[in-house]
Amino acid sequence: MSSPIPQSPDPSSHVQALAAMGVQRRYRRGALLIQEGETGDTLYIVLQGRLRAFLGDGQGRELTLGVYGPGEYVGEMSLDGGPRSANVEAMEPSTCAVITRDVLLDYIARQPAFALELMSRLIRRARLATESARNVALIDVYGRLVRFLNQLALDPNAQGERVVGERLTHQAMAQHLACSREMVSRLLRDLETGGYIAVRDRWIWLLKPLPARW
């Protein structure tokens, strides 16, 4: 897919200050914080846990847009008062600081430097969304899988093997690749049979360079 699951950056002083102005709320795993199409006026700053932004087609197929951990935020599109552009759910028990649109706008008015930080974040996410759309449209599922695994893989060990740095279920991988879980399972099984990957304690290891085509 377009990008590996991002590692959460250290929260900026602005995000920390803004979080202190919000109301803390806890969410169970699987809870839907934001629903695509609804009107919302709140920003969610992650304090603990992880959130997943995704699109769904109503038939069980999903495309993960990003995963966000402590110090990151979602819901910034609420600034224009329009409908939500994606769904956001808690991937695990999570705690967020919930900021209303009025509080956010007041903070930006008092701290204009945060507007630049917010704009930079929006531009980065827009670029990732564009890359995701391009990959889904122009690269086949196997090609997206290879790119996804290579982006998540850590540096090689002494044997030249690289471990994928996230323990992901086949369903989670399918959501990142915009395909079915069965397709992911079949491709991984074929790569394992071919000696390209190995699964050890639910960690995927890349034993040698993955072929460009399958």
Angle between helices 112-138 and 13-20 (to 10 degrees): 100
Please give the backbone phi and psi of residue 145, each rounded to the nearest 5 degrees, phi first.
-65, -45
Side-chain-side CA neighbours of residue 104 (13 Å): 23
Burial (CB count <10 Å: 0-12, 13-18, 19+), residue 55: middle
The separation between the first and the last C-alpha atoms of the chain, rounded to the nearest angstrom, is: 16
Residue keyed to tokens 């969610």: 44
Nearest to 88 by CA among 119, 67, 71, 59: 67
Average pLDDT along the chain, 214 residues, taken 10 residues at a time: 44 88 97 91 95 83 88 84 89 96 92 89 82 75 93 94 94 89 95 96 95 83
Helices (H), the chain: 13-20, 101-110, 112-138, 141-152, 170-177, 181-193
Residue 1 near residue 178, CB atoms below 8 Å:
yes
Strand-strand pairing, 162-163 and 94-100: unpaired
pLDDT, position 11? 53
Q: Which residue type does 172 have? A: A
The pLDDT assigned to 178 comes to 84
How many Å apart are CA 82 and CA 119, to the nearest integer? Answer: 17
For residue 108, give the 3-state DSSP assignment.
Answer: helix
Q: From the CB of residue 190, how many other CB atoms can be counted at a distance below 10 Å?
A: 13
